[in-house]
């Protein structure tokens, strides 16, 4: 079980204070894919950044498997991301001078040691994502869809408690974007992981198990969804 | 893994910077070898004398050419508490005129320590009117067994051996026994006096008597536990004592020359450090997005900095090998009279200095790594 409780994030003070997230709470069971939707500036990326330990919330708690996440230093936050979190970025952010396989092995390398088990896991993931033939290729030789699949496989390398996926299809066409989301969903279900996917595309969100809509930093109820979706489609 | 993969993945970029750093390293080494070569060429005959100290006549230090100690002075020095042994070292000027082209030499008379010269050809056993010559005299056409005619004293010396690294003021040194030196020195002084209007027989005899048993300086060894300062205190103002190396480095023009060459070395090392620092800083700035992403997936600042240091170490090591090859090549291509004397100790210091300054230069990049916000990988800054 993954839980976000009363997360608020404000920037600045006094008249210049901006509230990016306002008392956001939700729960997510293992094996579920949650799509976070909202227009630009609604707080989606801030929410993911806080869950990833990249930002400290002004108030509120994050609970993974019944334990509250306490990150007192940058080093502690880095360790948390290495062990508990799998991150997929809007841009694939693969290391350009590493092959697809080496990009996957980068994750255990950051933890200090790459074992035979890690190498086997990397090979398995590459096979699961249909990338065995591309394992020795650098990102510059991969297609956009292949790069994003390598990025997702990399996020799964450390067997994270929670996957955080930021606009994974924004650089792909609709067909390839849907393929990536389907693959992601399949992996989440198979591995019984928790996944939060930020998207502004309702078609992608339609493949998620659950949806969370943010507007101006607040979770909006179902009644307000129609208006939100209308706003998104206009944007 | 990251550091080495990046080096291999961007061969051209890193090869170019290794070449530039290598040239800076070679410049540092060439200047170091030239500095050492100049020191050897300018005062090798003096700095290599086997002694704990050289003792100069009052108020003449560090000018060997002006110092003259009488037999009584040498006796006083020998009797000074803390002095274990003494031998006289004489110096005079001359030109060799028996070769195809005349060339200047310095003549050093050595007391009872003629065996200290490293002999590279011939013998070190020097008899009256015989000489062991610095090997650079061969460039002037001098060979073993030659009889050299010295002017203006009109003396003849037979070459019985060659030694090395014993030049003085960049000209070859002729080593003779002290009585031979004494004769040459007196003849040289009398010759100058005659040129200025002559002298009489009585004055000549008096001068020969005065110079009997004299030397330019005294080379002394000290009793165990006695320091140079102790002996200087005992000498008071009568004599000045300095180690052979210190005396060599204090010679006329030497401190300025050493400073100038040292300055070139430090400027070279500073340029090398700046090159490494700026190169890695710009490289780091170019990949802040990538650094942010790697930090976002869990890399610590320490891990990234270790990778940077590994890259710098590999790069500077490659550049150092390149620099040594270039410096040795440059040395091999220099004319024999050129002052070039590579000293492994000084080269080691130069290499360590390049490494140390490169690591200092890496602090620019560390600053950049520390400032890179992993949140920017998700399109957000934590300071927003």
For B205-230, what is the mean pLDDT? 90
What is the three-class DSSP state of B15?
helix
Distance CA B111, CA B178 (A): 5
Report the complex ipTM.
Answer: 0.84
- Cβ–Cβ of A110/B301 closer than 8 Å? no
Least confident of B85-89, B272-276, B377-381: B377-381
Residue A195 has which token pair?
């996944």
- Cβ–Cβ of A97/B5 closer than 8 Å? yes
B32 has pLDDT over 90: no
Distant-in-sequence, close-in-space partners of A230: CB < 8 Å, separation ≥ 6: none
| A165-169, B85-89, B336-340: which is most confident | B85-89
Distance CA B10, CA B3 (A): 11
Name every chain B residue with its beta carbon within 8 A of the beta carbon of A40.
none
Q: Which of A7, A50, A13, A11 is nearest to A25 (CA)?
A: A7
Distance CA A131, CA B225 (A): 77
Distance CA B240, CA B248 (A): 14
Interface probe with B: pick from A97, A122, A160, A167, most Cβ of B within 10 Å: A97
- Cβ–Cβ of B298/A78 closer than 8 Å? yes
For B179-190, what is the mean pLDDT? 86
Q: What local confidence, expressed as pLDDT, does residue B129 receive? A: 92
pLDDT, one tens digit per residue, over B129-173 is 999 999 999 999 999 999 999 988 889 999 999 999 899 988 999
Q: Residue A222 — very low, low, confident or very high, per pLDDT cuts 50/70/90?
A: low
- Cβ–Cβ of A102/B5 closer than 8 Å? yes
Query: How far off is chain B from A91, nearest CA to CA, in Å?
Result: 8
A119 has pLDDT over 70: yes
Q: Provide the percentage of residues in chain A whose pLDDT is more than 90.
A: 49
List the Cα angle B291/B292/B294 in 5-degree steps.
65
Distance CA B374, CA B383 (A): 11
Classify strands A194-198 and A162-166 as parallel, antiparallel or unpaired: parallel
Q: What local confidence, expressed as pLDDT, does residue B215 receive? A: 94
For A143-151, what is the mean pLDDT? 89
Q: What local confidence, expressed as pLDDT, does residue B363 receive? A: 87
Q: Residue B197 — very low, low, confident or very high, per pLDDT cuts 50/70/90?
A: low
Q: What local confidence, expressed as pLDDT, does residue B79 receive? A: 95
A16 has pLDDT over 60: yes
For A119-137, what is the mean pLDDT? 93
Q: CB-based contact (8 Å) between B375 and chain A?
A: yes
Helix-, strand-, coil-residue percentages of chain B, each rounded to 5: 55, 20, 25
Rg (CA), chain A: 18
Residue B355 has which token pair?
């490494």
Q: Which of B218, B214, B175 is nearest to B54 (CA)?
A: B218
Q: CB-based contact (8 Å) between A212 and chain B?
A: no
Query: How far off is chain B from A36, nearest CA to CA, in Å?
Result: 15
Q: Residue A207 — very low, low, confident or very high, per pLDDT cuts 50/70/90?
A: confident
Distance CA B150, CA A24 (A): 103
Question: Measuring CA to CA, how many Å separate B135 from each of A165, B150, B204?
Answer: 78, 18, 35
Q: Provide the percentage of residues in chain B whose pLDDT is more than 70.
A: 96
Classify strands B103-110 and B171-177 as parallel, antiparallel or unpaired: parallel
Q: Which of B28, B24, B34 is nearest to B335 (CA)?
A: B34
Domain boundaries, chain B: 2-43+255-378, 53-242
Q: Kindly compute the dihedral angle of the four CA atoms of residues B323, B324, B326, B330, in this order, to the nearest 10 degrees.
A: 130
Distant-in-sequence, close-in-space partners of B310: CB < 8 Å, separation ≥ 6: B3, B4
Q: Provide the percentage of residues in chain B whose pLDDT is more than 90.
A: 44
Q: Residue A231 — very low, low, confident or very high, per pLDDT cuts 50/70/90?
A: low
Distance CA B160, CA B174 (A): 11
Residue of B nearest to A58 (CA): B382
- Cβ–Cβ of B379/A45 closer than 8 Å? yes
B203 has pLDDT over 80: no
C-beta of residue B222 within 8 angstroms of C-beta of residue B83: yes
Q: What local confidence, expressed as pLDDT, does residue B199 receive? A: 64
Distance CA A114, CA A96 (A): 20
Least confident of A81-95, A155-169, B260-274, B361-375: B260-274
C-beta of residue A38 within 8 angstroms of C-beta of residue A200: yes
Domains and CATH numbers, chain A: 27-40+80-234 (3.40.50.300)
Q: Which of B274, B299, B277 is nearest to B372 (CA)?
A: B299
| B256/B55: higher pLDDT | B55
Residue A120 has which token pair?
């086997």
Q: How many CA atoms lie within 13 A of B263 on its CB side?
A: 6
What is the three-class DSSP state of A53?
coil
C-beta of residue B27 within 8 angstroms of C-beta of residue B222: no
- Pairs of CB atoms within 8 A across A/B: 95
Q: Tell me phi and psi for residue B107, to 5 degrees.
A: -110, 125
Q: Residue A71 — very low, low, confident or very high, per pLDDT cuts 50/70/90?
A: confident
Q: Provide the percentage of residues in chain A whose pLDDT is more than 70.
A: 93
> How far is Cα of residue A7 from the mean position of the Cα atoms in its chain?
18
List the Cα angle A195/B370/A13 in 5-degree steps.
75
List the Cα angle B185/B186/B192 in 5-degree steps.
90
Q: What local confidence, expressed as pLDDT, does residue A235 receive? A: 47
Classify strands B130-134 and B103-110 as parallel, antiparallel or unpaired: unpaired
Classify strands A2-11 and A59-64 as parallel, antiparallel or unpaired: antiparallel
Q: What local confidence, expressed as pLDDT, does residue B223 receive? A: 95
Q: What local confidence, expressed as pLDDT, does residue A21 receive? A: 93
Residue of A nearest to B370 (CA): A74
Distance CA A217, CA A8 (A): 8
pLDDT, one tens digit per residue, over B291-314 is 999 999 889 899 999 998 999 899
Q: Which of B167, B355, B372, B367 is nearest to B276 (CA)?
A: B355
Q: What local confidence, expressed as pLDDT, does residue A205 receive? A: 85
Helix-then-strand count for chain B, H and E: 11, 11
Q: What local confidence, expressed as pLDDT, does residue B17 receive? A: 86
| B338/B4: higher pLDDT | B4
Q: What local confidence, expressed as pLDDT, does residue B196 receive? A: 61
pLDDT, one tens digit per residue, over A156-193 is 998 898 999 988 777 777 787 788 888 888 888 888 88
For B247-256, what is the mean pLDDT? 85
For A7-34, what is the mean pLDDT? 90
Distance CA B102, CA A139 (A): 74
Q: CB-based contact (8 Å) between B301 and chain A?
A: yes
How is residue A12 annotated by DSSP?
A: S
Q: CB-based contact (8 Å) between B298 and chain A?
A: yes
C-beta of residue B98 within 8 angstroms of C-beta of residue B188: no
Q: What local confidence, expressed as pLDDT, does residue B380 receive? A: 58
Q: What local confidence, expressed as pLDDT, does residue B359 receive? A: 87
Q: What local confidence, expressed as pLDDT, does residue B180 receive? A: 93
């Amino acid at each position: 079980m993954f839980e976000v409780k009363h997360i608020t994030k404000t920037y600045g003070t006094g008249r210049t204070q901006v509230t990016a997230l306002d008392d956001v709470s939700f729960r997510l069971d293992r094996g579920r894919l949650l799509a976070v939707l909202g227009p630009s500036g609604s707080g989606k990326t801030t929410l993911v950044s806080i869950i990833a330990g990249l930002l400290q919330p002004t108030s509120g708690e994050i609970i993974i498997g019944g334990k509250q996440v306490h990150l007192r230093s940058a080093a502690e936050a880095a360790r948390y991301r290495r062990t508990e979190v799998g991150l997929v970025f809007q841009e694939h952010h693969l290391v350009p001078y590493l092959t697809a396989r080496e990009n996957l092995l980068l994750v255990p390398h950051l933890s200090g040691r790459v074992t035979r088990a890690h190498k086997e896991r990397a090979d398995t993931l590459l096979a699961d994502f249909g990338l065995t033939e591309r394992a020795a290729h650098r990102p510059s030789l991969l297609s956009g869809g292949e790069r994003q699949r390598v990025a997702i496989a990399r996020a799964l390398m450390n067997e994270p408690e929670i996957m955080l996926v930021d606009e994974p299809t924004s650089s792909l066409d609709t067909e390839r974007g849907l393929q990536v989301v389907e693959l992601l969903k399949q992996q989440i279900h198979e591995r019984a992981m928790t996944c939060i996917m930020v998207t502004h595309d309702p078609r992608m969100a339609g493949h998620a198990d659950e949806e969370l809509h943010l507007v101006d930093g607040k979770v909006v109820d179902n009644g307000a969804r129609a208006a939100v979706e209308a706003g998104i489609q206009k944007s | 893994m990251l550091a080495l993969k990046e080096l291999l993945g961007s061969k051209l970029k890193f090869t170019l910077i290794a070449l530039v750093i290598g040239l800076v390293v070679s410049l540092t080494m060439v200047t170091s070898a030239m500095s050492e070569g100049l020191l050897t060429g300018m005062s090798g005959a003096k700095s290599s004398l086997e002694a704990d100290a050289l003792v100069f006549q009052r108020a003449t230090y560090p000018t060997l050419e002006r110092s003259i100690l009488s037999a009584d002075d040498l006796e006083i020095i020998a009797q000074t508490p803390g002095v274990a042994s003494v031998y006289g070292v004489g110096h005079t000027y001359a030109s060799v005129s028996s070769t195809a082209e005349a060339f200047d030499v310095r003549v050093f008379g050595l007391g009872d320590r003629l065996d200290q010269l490293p002999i590279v050809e011939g013998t070190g056993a020097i008899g009256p009117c015989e000489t062991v010559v610095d090997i650079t005299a061969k460039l002037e056409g001098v060979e073993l067994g030659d009889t050299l005619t010295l002017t203006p004293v009109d003396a003849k010396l037979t070459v019985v051996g060659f030694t090395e690294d014993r030049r003085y003021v960049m000209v070859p040194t002729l080593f003779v026994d002290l009585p031979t030196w004494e004769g040459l020195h007196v003849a040289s002084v009398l010759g100058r006096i005659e040129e200025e209007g002559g002298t009489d027989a009585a004055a000549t005899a008096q001068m020969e008597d005065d110079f009997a048993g004299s030397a330019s300086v005294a080379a002394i060894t000290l009793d165990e536990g006695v320091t140079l300062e102790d002996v200087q205190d005992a000498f008071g103002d009568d004599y000045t004592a300095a180690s052979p190396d210190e005396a060599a480095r204090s010679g006329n023009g030497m401190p300025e020359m050493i400073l100038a060459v040292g300055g070139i070395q430090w400027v070279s090392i500073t340029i090398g450090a700046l090159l490494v620092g700026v190169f890695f800083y710009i490289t780091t700035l170019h990949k802040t997005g990538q650094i942010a992403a790697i930090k976002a997936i869990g890399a610590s600042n320490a891990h990234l900095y270790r990778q940077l240091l590994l890259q710098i170490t590999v790069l500077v090591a490659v550049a150092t090998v390149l620099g040594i090859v270039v410096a040795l090549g440059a040395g091999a291509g220099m004319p024999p009279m050129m002052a070039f004397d590579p000293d492994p100790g000084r080269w080691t210091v130069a290499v360590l200095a390049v490494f140390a300054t490169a690591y200092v230069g890496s602090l620019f990049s560390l600053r950049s790594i520390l400032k890179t916000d992993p949140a920017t990988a998700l399109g957000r800054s934590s300071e927003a």
